[in-house]
């Protein structure tokens, strides 16, 4: 069997039992990258082949190193990896080679992974479309004329095309969920605080963005989550983590699932998305769950106003050291910087009050439903040369990111959410669902996803790239 089609669980088992060698896996990985990466541009800053093979041989010659023993992993290019160019997609950092790993890279390396290079991302991760002036655009493997989404677009494409079996991503406004949906793979946004960020700068105020795993199955998601999650005493709001692996399919009989569709019309959708998502919901029903379409539990505009205030405050806090180089930043980064720096403390407080109101209301909703579902995106993958959609079904978008409004209910209050493949639309393009639950329901959501995966196995339908 082609090693690049293995699940991570199969690959790790074979590596750990010495049925395959790390060197053999590395050779197969590099061969696959050579075959397909030129068409999609997902993996960037790839390390030297001989250095990678030497590292693989050293692993073969030594003891089992951990849960990811010998597995090749390309790390999202928002994460510093020692000895590897880490540009964040920005000309300001082009050629920057850090001397130390960021926390998530260090944890994967300590677990035995071989960090082979980077996966492409938008500049500073801003925008759900992976393009930047350093490496260019990453293309959708199901239609190279279209975007792969973002900001974890390179990671999703690398998974979809078999260049890696596991990938890390990050998610503030759908950056794991959107590319997972558009590339027919799984992406998991964990409960906020479960996967720690690096213990630098402020560790108290900003609770929107999180790191998380991506893979071709919920079982493989669980394997990587167990490596990257866990307590760090240097972070005050970091949550403890009990192992979720092995992730096993859950019996969905009698489960109550709320379908939020387009949030009562507040989230405009391109034609065909809701129809495909409702067809995908039928899988949950066939497995015994009770699906109920429910009205919007909270006002969408209040969510949005709270979101753009807290998001811009957070993003501007990170970009502020670069404000003297404002003209070197892309337009969306300039927008976030200008908006965020103009906010008052009371505006931020009032936005957080709305966030708190939504959190309390969500708790009430989860008293009645085991999980909720929304589409993972409001548009199909669009032209790769278009920076972002400016309208959806005739409705104008008033910001560069309003077209991802559908991800805000989850992001605003740090809920765990699994992006689940929903199949393919009329043009052969993938779409996905957001399956989410209350904070702390991470393991349960993965088990629900595993049940659906066993019934569909959508990601195993690899795009027809040579």
Beta bridge partners of 140: 143
Beta bridge partners of 132: 136
Structure token digits, residue 140: 């959708």
φ and ψ at residue 441, rounded to 5 degrees: -95, 25
Other CB atoms within a 10 A radius of the CB of residue 39 amount to: 15
CATH 3.40.50.620 fits 3-460, yes or no: no
φ and ψ at residue 63, rounded to 5 degrees: -75, 165
User: Which strand (E) or helix (H) includes residue 292?
Assistant: strand 290-293
How far apart are the C-alpha atoms of 132 and 94, rounded to whole Å?
11
How far apart are the C-alpha atoms of 383 and 370, rounded to whole Å?
37
**Closest of 414, 307, 331, 374 to residue 129, by C-alpha:** 331
Structure token digits, residue 414: 């740090």
How far apart are the C-alpha atoms of 131 and 139, rounded to whole Å?
9
Confirm if 177 and 149 have CB atoms less than 8 A apart: no
> What's the residue count for the chain?
466
Helix axes of 103-110 and 218-228: crossing angle, nearest 10 degrees: 110
Q: pLDDT tens digits, the chain, 466 residues: what are they?
A: 799 999 999 999 999 999 999 999 999 999 999 999 999 999 999 999 999 999 999 999 999 999 999 999 999 999 999 999 999 999 999 999 999 999 999 999 999 999 999 999 999 999 999 999 999 999 999 999 999 999 999 999 999 999 999 999 999 999 999 999 999 999 999 999 999 999 999 999 999 999 999 999 999 999 999 999 999 999 999 988 999 999 999 999 999 999 999 999 999 999 999 999 999 999 999 999 999 999 999 999 999 999 999 999 999 999 999 989 899 999 999 999 999 999 999 999 999 999 999 999 999 999 999 999 999 999 999 999 999 999 999 999 999 999 999 999 999 999 999 999 999 999 999 999 999 999 999 999 999 999 999 999 999 988 877 5
Q: What is the dihedral of CA 42, 46, 50, 51, to 10 degrees?
A: -130
H helix intervals, 399-439:
408-411
Q: pTM surpassing 0.85?
A: yes
User: Which strand (E) or helix (H) includes residue 371?
Assistant: strand 371-375
């Amino acid at each position: 069997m082609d090693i690049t089609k293995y699940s991570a669980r199969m690959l790790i088992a074979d590596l750990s039992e010495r049925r395959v060698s790390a060197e053999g896996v590395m050779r197969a990985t590099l061969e696959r990258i050579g075959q397909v990466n030129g068409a999609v541009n997902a993996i960037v800053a790839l390390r030297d082949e001989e250095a990678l093979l030497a590292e693989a041989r050293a692993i073969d010659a030594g003891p089992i190193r951990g849960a990811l023993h010998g597995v090749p992993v390309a790390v999202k290019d928002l994460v510093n990896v020692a000895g590897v160019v880490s540009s964040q997609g920005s000309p300001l950092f082009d050629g920057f080679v850090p001397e130390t790993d960021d926390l998530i890279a260090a944890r994967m390396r300590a677990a035995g992974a071989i960090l082979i290079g980077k996966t492409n991302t938008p500049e500073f991760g801003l925008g759900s479309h992976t393009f930047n002036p350093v490496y260019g655009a990453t293309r959708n493997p199901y239609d190279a004329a279209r975007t792969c989404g973002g900001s974890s677009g390179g990671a999703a494409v690398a998974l979809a095309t078999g260049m890696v079996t596991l990938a890390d991503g990050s998610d503030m406004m759908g950056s794991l969920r959107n590319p997972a949906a558009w590339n027919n793979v799984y992406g998991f946004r964990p409960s906020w605080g479960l996967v720690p960020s690096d213990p630098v700068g402020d560790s108290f105020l900003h609770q929107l963005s999180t790191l998380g795993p991506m893979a071709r199955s919920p079982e493989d998601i669980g394997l990587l989550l167990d490596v990257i999650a866990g307590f760090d005493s240097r972070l005050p709001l970091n949550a403890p983590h009990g192992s979720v692996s092995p992730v096993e399919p859950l019996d969905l009989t009698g489960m109550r699932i709320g379908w939020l569709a387009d949030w009562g019309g507040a989230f405009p959708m391109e034609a065909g998305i809701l129809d495909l998502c409702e067809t995908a919901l039928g899988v949950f029903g066939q497995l015994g769950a009770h699906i109920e379409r429910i009205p919007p539990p909270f006002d969408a505009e209040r969510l949005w106003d709270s979101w753009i205030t807290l998001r811009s405050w957070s993003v501007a806090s990170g970009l502020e050291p670069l404000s003297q180089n404002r003209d070197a930043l892309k337009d969306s980064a300039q927008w976030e910087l200008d908006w965020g720096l103009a906010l008052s403390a009371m505006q931020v407080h009032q936005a957080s009050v709305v966030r708190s109101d939504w959190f309390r209301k969500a708790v009430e909703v989860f008293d009645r439903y085991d999980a909720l579902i929304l589409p993972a995106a409001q548009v199909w993958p669009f032209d790769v040369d278009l920076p972002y959609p400016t309208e959806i079904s005739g409705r104008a978008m008033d910001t560069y990111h309003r077209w991802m409004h559908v991800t805000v209910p989850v992001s605003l209050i740090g809920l765990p959410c699994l992006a689940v493949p929903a199949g393919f639309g009329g043009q052969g393009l993938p779409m996905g669902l957001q399956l989410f639950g209350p904070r702390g329901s991470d393991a349960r959501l993965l088990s629900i996803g595993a049940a659906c995966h066993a019934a569909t196995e959508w990601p195993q339908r690899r795009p027809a790239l040579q």
